[in-house]
């Protein structure tokens, strides 16, 4: 029973990180739309790179959460 609770806690922790990363990514996208005309090109490229980096981290985290949920089913 303790292993199930440990996996559930780990899933909850991953979900908190997942939601935080989605909020950060959304904020960066909003920043680009707001400051597209006013900022230097290199700043925009850095932010777009961050968006793709965080987006791929979100995808990896999503797959990790699904694997942990599947692990719960097997117990």
Query: How crowded is the C-beta side of 65, counted as CA atoms within 13 Å?
Result: 16
Total of domains in the chain: 1
Secondary structure letter of residue 39 according to DSSP: S
* Tens digit of each residue's pLDDT, the chain (75 residues): 688 899 999 999 999 999 999 999 999 999 999 888 887 888 889 999 999 999 999 999 999 999 999 988 877
CB-based contact 15:65 (threshold 8 Å): yes
Alpha-carbon separation of residue 72 from 2, 11, 30 (angstroms): 12, 10, 37
Angle (deg, nearest 10), helices 41-74 and 2-35: 160
Domain assignment of residue 50, given as a range: 2-74
């Amino acid at each position: 029973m303790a292993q199930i609770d440990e996996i559930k806690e780990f899933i909850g922790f991953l979900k908190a990180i997942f939601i935080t990363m989605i909020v950060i990514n959304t904020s960066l996208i909003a920043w680009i739309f707001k400051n597209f005309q006013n900022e230097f090109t290199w700043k925009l490229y850095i932010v777009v790179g961050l968006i793709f980096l965080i987006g791929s981290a979100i995808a990896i985290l999503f797959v990790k959460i699904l694997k942990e949920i599947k692990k719960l089913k097997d117990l």
